[in-house]
Amino acid sequence: MPGTSGPSRHRQRRERAAAALGAQGCAALVVGPGSDLAYLTGYRIFATERLTALVLAADGTATLVLPGLEGPRAEAAAPDLTRREWAETDDPYALVAALVGGAGDIAIGDQLWSAFLLRLQDALAGRRFRPASDVTRALRMRKEPEELAALREVGASADRAFSRIRELEFSGRTEQELAADIAAALRAEGHDEVTFTIVASGPNGASPHHHTGDRRIARGDAVVLDFGGTRGWYCSDITRTVVVGEPDSELVRVHDLVRRAQEAGYGAARDGARACDVDAAARTVITEGGYGDRFIHRLGHGIGLDGHEHPYLVSSNEERLERGMAFSIEPGIYLPGRFGVRIEDIAAVGADGSAQPFNVADRGLTRVR
């Protein structure tokens, strides 16, 4: 809803979630600390051994069950929300069970620890549990204008960070040293938090989620840089592949292929397109270029409050893209023992039905020192 903020925005989201619960035959939604809770209430809290849970009944009644000591924090974040605070010796599971009421399934938070779910299953014996994402994914996939603005802003911040990073000295330094510089650049350009900084140099680039280590970067190395964090709670995620000095001819050829695959992904990611067809459009370019078996992951993932969320651009997903959906487009080619190349942007399906990039930093094979 344009122009709404704070409590009323969260109340509207809870109303939509409650309607979805009813439509899907669910009695209630129970979510713990994490992005579903933040999305529905604005309340953010780390998970601990003490149960915190929002219970949203299909009739729209919303209650936050929480340890009494967190009362002030919850009141400040979500003053409009009814709270049921439990004392250290109370049974919070009985509290949740009493609030669930009615017949029907219970939609349980995907990010709720199993330690809590197992106790809830005892307290609600005989009830059927389903993933909360059955209910929340349809809401969270369709971004509100404010959410798209937040993603655009955090994306621009990541782009500015890359402008700083490409000026850094790479040769002779370790991956960890570069990662520290990337984190500093993200913060300097407006990120509130840095979530990950992958620096995968030379042969390490062949592992898509390489754990940044103490390898010293050398001249001629391709270096995959994949980094992101949050600003205003929304996530960034960008990958660029750079080369230290002059690239060899295969690196140039592979990088060009990945770039063309990404462009094909952009071309296919239109309003109404199936997620699997977008993956296929990019994959076909790489397969025809002779590296099909070296593109070893899906093309992309949704992004928002979570760094990876629905919709997933993967060959098994026949879901159709819609205006307002945001996701990564990140083809890659990985050559074991040699190097890897990946190019990743965040994009969203815009008002004209085409995919608009939130990352516009130079996608070429950038030469670094």
- The distance of closest approach from Cβ of residue 286 to Zn ion in the complex, given in angstroms and rounded to an integer, is 17
Closer to Zn ion at the Cβ: 204 or 239?
239
How many chain residues are in contact with Zn ion, going by CB under 5 A?
5
Q: Where are the alpha helices (DSSP H) in the chain?
A: 6-23, 35-41, 71-77, 92-100, 114-123, 133-141, 145-165, 175-188, 249-268, 275-288
Cβ proximity to Zn ion, 208 vs 232, nearer residue: 208
The stretch near Zn ion (CB under 5 A) out of 116-124, 219-227, 316-324, 348-356 is: 219-227
CB of residue 209 vs Zn ion: minimum separation in angstroms? 6
Least CB distance to Zn ion at residue 272 (A) = 23
* Beta carbon nearer to Zn ion, 40 or 200: 200
Task: Tell me which residues in 316-355 interact with Zn ion (CB under 5 A).
Answer: 328, 344
**Nearest to Zn ion of 70, 226 (CB atom):** 226
CB of 69 to Zn ion, least distance (A): 37
Binding to Zn ion (CB under 5 A) within 79-118 occurs at none
Site string for Zn ion, 283-312 (x = CB under 5 A): ------------------------------
- Closest to Zn ion by CB, 110 vs 237, is 237
Residue 182: phi and psi, rounded to 5, are: -65, -45
In three-state secondary structure terms, 66 is strand
The vertex-341 CA angle with 150 and 162, nearest 5°, equals 40
Neighbouring residues of 286: CB distance < 8 A, sequence distance ≥ 6: 257, 258, 261, 292, 294, 295, 331, 333
Q: Is 159 helix (H, G, I), strand (E, B) or coil?
A: helix
**Cβ proximity to Zn ion, 39 vs 312, nearer residue:** 312
Which 266-285 residues touch Zn ion, going by CB under 5 A? none
Choose, by CB under 5 A, the member of 36, 110, 147, 237 that binds Zn ion.
Answer: 237
Q: Interacting stretch for Zn ion, rule CB under 5 A, among 36-44, 239-247, 282-290, 314-322?
A: 239-247
In the block, tokens 């098994």 appear at: 316
Please identify, using beta-carbon distances, which residue of 35 and 328 lies nearer to Zn ion: 328
**With CB under 5 A as the contact rule, which of the stretches 38-46, 110-118, 175-183, 232-240 interacts with Zn ion?**
232-240
How far apart, in whole angstroms, are the C-alpha atoms of residue 70 and residue 358?
37
Q: Regarding beta strands 105-108 and 129-131, do their DSSP bridges make them parallel or antiparallel, or are they unpaired?
A: parallel
- State in angstroms the smallest separation of the CB of 254 from Zn ion: 18
Rounded to a whole number of angstroms, the minimum distance from the CB of residue 312 to Zn ion is 11
Separation between Cα atoms, residue 302 and residue 311, nearest integer Å: 5
How does strand 300-302 pair with strand 234-235? unpaired
Nearest to Zn ion of 239, 241 (CB atom): 239
> Of 36 and 344, which CB lies nearer to Zn ion in the complex structure?
344
Structure tokens at 349: 């399906």
Which candidate, 358, 258, 365, 277, places its Cα nearest to that of 316? 277
Strand partners, 366: 242
| CB 162 to Zn ion: min, Å | 12
* Cβ atoms within 10 Å of 68's Cβ, excluding its own: 14
Residues 51-80 that bind Zn ion (CB under 5 A): none
CA atoms of 296 and 333, how far apart (whole Å): 8
Q: Is 226 in the site for Zn ion (CB under 5 A)?
A: yes
Rg over alpha carbons for the chain, rounded to the nearest Å, is 23
Applying CB under 5 A, which part among 19-27, 118-126, 220-228, 360-368 lies near Zn ion?
220-228
Phi, psi of 271 (to 5 degrees): -50, 125
**Residue position matching structure tokens 């029907």:** 104
- Which range binds Zn ion by CB under 5 A, 44-52, 72-80, 138-146, 218-226? 218-226
Cβ count near 43 (within 10 Å): 22
Q: Which is nearer to Zn ion, 93 or 339 (CB)?
A: 339
Q: Residues interacting with Zn ion, by CB under 5 A? A: 226, 237, 239, 328, 344
